[in-house]
Chains A and B, each alone.
Chain A
Amino acid sequence: MNRFLTLVGRDLRLALRQGSDATIAVMFFVLCVVLFPFGVGPEPNILARIAAGVIWVAALLASLLSLERLFQNDYEDGSLELLVLTPLPLEAVVLAKTLAHWLVTGVPLIVAAPLLAVLLNMEADGFGVLVLTLAVGTPVLSLIGAIGAALTLGARRGGVLLSLLILPLYIPVLIFGAGAIDAAILGLSPRPHILLLSGLLAGALPLAPWAGAAALRQAVE
């Protein structure tokens, strides 16, 4: 456990010193959402209708943005080989790095989301559910994305490839996440959606580190 926290701490420290990942992800998220009124017109009713979907799609793309570098730096400077060789199981390494990535890029998205909901005239009923679904859903995005980041290490055009691999797998998260907000706004219970989303998280928590570790072992071989 100590080693796990050491690794999380080191990745957080690296992210804070380098400083750009978190801000870029949030800025991309905000800009992406702000583009929509220019595309579909400033009509408040239309914006309110599409708000949940737009925010979720933008969150999805924003979390994808920084995933490419999740293992890339460690791979290039040789740290990854050494991480494979530490007594910490590789699955725990994947989980620790994913957790640090989510803390740096996922949490700011959750914080920024209500602001964007205001800009898009989302009904007030949806706000709480928006934050809740993002809080449950963005870890799933980071976990699935970690698999893709590990698989594309050393590939040509890794970043584009990563989105091609990962975006189809994001679809269930998008459906349940945006669906919960729509349900809440329509006065229905968002509970089933949120439970399904939690189910996805429960499934991804053991499976993603396993698959990511398998991919990393291949990458350093």
Chain B
Amino acid sequence: MHRFANPARFLRLSAVIQPWAAGATVVLLVVGLYLSLFGSPPDYQQGDTVRIMYVHVPAAWMALFVYVNMAIAAAVGLVWKHPLADLFSKAAAPVGAGFTAVCLVTGSLWGAPMWGTWWVWDARLTSMLILFFLYLGYMALVNAFDDPERGVKAGNVLLLVGVVNIPIIKFSVDWWNTLHQPASVIRMGGPTIAGEMLVPLLVMAFAFTAYFVSVVLLRLKSEILARKIQTLRLNDAQGR
């Protein structure tokens, strides 16, 4: 409990932020979905299929964004031993893994009409798949220890190793992909994004960010409370 003097302040702060983040999620999601489903033109090549992009691409951005944030928190946790930084990565991981899964599923759904198959070893999708495995590995490691603190610390080291490796993996997969596939495959979220497509894309990205913030705050809160309960029980067990 002594070490949660700081988290107490955090709990007060999060109580203020959280309703706003949750409200922003709802508003942005409604606006974003309206814009992407009705307020934007169909693609001249892909027709209405292109609307999958408004979920797929922001999810991909978020997947990477969350992982990088977790790695930054891991560095902060390792260097300054800040207890909140440790808890943040643990709280954020399932959300990030969820975004990655959404990205993979929508990618597969998008691929079906475009390529005529549910899965193509496209460089971006493959990199996302590996990122998904990195998320799963992190979550498995954090939960594999009897002492939760040890799990979080080991997870921090893994996150730093992972974030160093992500550019290497991305580069190697791109390299592998150009060697093994003809370059004529249509790329997802291709380079020709018109202005009227960009607006719904950004709104959706903000909606996802707001969602991420509100869910992580909630998960952090429950994690802190769980730790408090554990401390109380430990003290009970020791008759203090």
Q: Are A179 and B145 in contact (CB under 8 A)?
A: no
**A151 contacts which of B133, B146, B158 (Cβ < 8 Å)?**
B158
A115, CB-defined interface residue at 8 Å:
no
User: In whole angstroms, what is the CA distance A214 to B78 when docked?
Assistant: 9
Give me the interface of A with B, judged by CB distance under 8 Å. Answer: 147, 151-152, 154-158, 161, 164-165, 167-169, 171-172, 175-176, 179, 182, 196, 200, 203, 207, 211, 214-215, 218-219, 221
B228, CB-defined interface residue at 8 Å:
no
- Contacting residues of chain B (142-167) with chain A, CB-CB under 8 angstroms: 144-146, 150-151, 153-154, 157-158, 160-162, 164-165
28 contacts between A and B (CB under 8 A): A147-B157, A151-B157, A152-B154, A155-B141, A155-B145, A155-B154, A157-B144, A161-B137, A161-B140, A164-B136, A164-B140, A165-B137, A165-B140, A165-B141, A167-B133, A168-B169, A169-B169, A171-B172, A171-B173, A172-B165, A172-B168, A175-B173, A175-B176, A176-B175, A179-B179, A211-B161, A214-B157, A218-B153
Total A-B pairs, Cβ < 8 A: 82
Mark B126-141 against chain A: 1 for CB-CB distance below 8 A, else 0.
0000100110110011
Q: Are B172 and A168 in contact (CB under 8 A)?
A: no
**B134 contacts which of A151, A168, A207 (Cβ < 8 Å)?**
A168
The residue in chain A whose Cβ has the minimal distance to the Cβ of B179 is: A179
**A156 contacts which of B78, B133, B144, B168 (Cβ < 8 Å)?**
B144
User: In whole angstroms, what is the CA distance A124 to B57 when docked?
Assistant: 45
Q: Are A218 and B130 in contact (CB under 8 A)?
A: no
Q: Are B141 and A151 in contact (CB under 8 A)?
A: yes
Q: Min CB distance, A169 to chain B, in Å?
A: 5
**A218 contacts which of B134, B150, B162 (Cβ < 8 Å)?**
B150
Q: Min CB distance, A104 to chain B, in Å?
A: 24
Given contacts A151-B158, A155-B144, A219-B150, 10 further A-B contacts (CB under 8 A): A156-B145, A161-B141, A164-B133, A165-B137, A165-B141, A179-B179, A196-B172, A211-B161, A214-B157, A215-B154
Q: Min CB distance, B196 to chain A, in Å?
A: 38
Q: At the interface, is chain A mostly helix, strand, loop or mixed?
A: helix
Given contacts A155-B145, A211-B160, A214-B157, contact A168 B133 (CB under 8 A): yes
Q: Which residues of A contact B144 (CB under 8 A)?
A: 152, 155-158, 161
Given contacts A171-B172, A218-B150, contact A165 B145 (CB under 8 A): no
Q: Are A200 and B168 in contact (CB under 8 A)?
A: yes
Given contacts A156-B144, A161-B140, contact A172 B172 (CB under 8 A): yes
User: In whole angstroms, what is the CA distance A218 to B134 when docked?
Assistant: 21
User: In whole angstroms, what is the CA distance A168 to B133 when docked?
Assistant: 7
Q: Which residues of B contact A147 (CB under 8 A)?
A: 157-158, 161
User: In whole angstroms, what is the CA distance A196 to B168 when docked?
Assistant: 10
Q: Which residues of B contact A175 (CB under 8 A)?
A: 172-173, 175-176
Q: Are A154 and B172 in contact (CB under 8 A)?
A: no
Q: Are B168 and A154 in contact (CB under 8 A)?
A: no
Q: Are A168 and B130 in contact (CB under 8 A)?
A: yes
Q: Which residues of A contact B146 (CB under 8 A)?
A: 156
User: In whole angstroms, what is the CA distance A168 to B136 when docked?
Assistant: 11
The residue in chain A whose Cβ has the minimal distance to the Cβ of B153 is: A218
The residue in chain B whose Cβ has the minimal distance to the Cβ of A172 is: B172
A152, A158, A175 pick with most chain B CB within 10 angstroms: A175
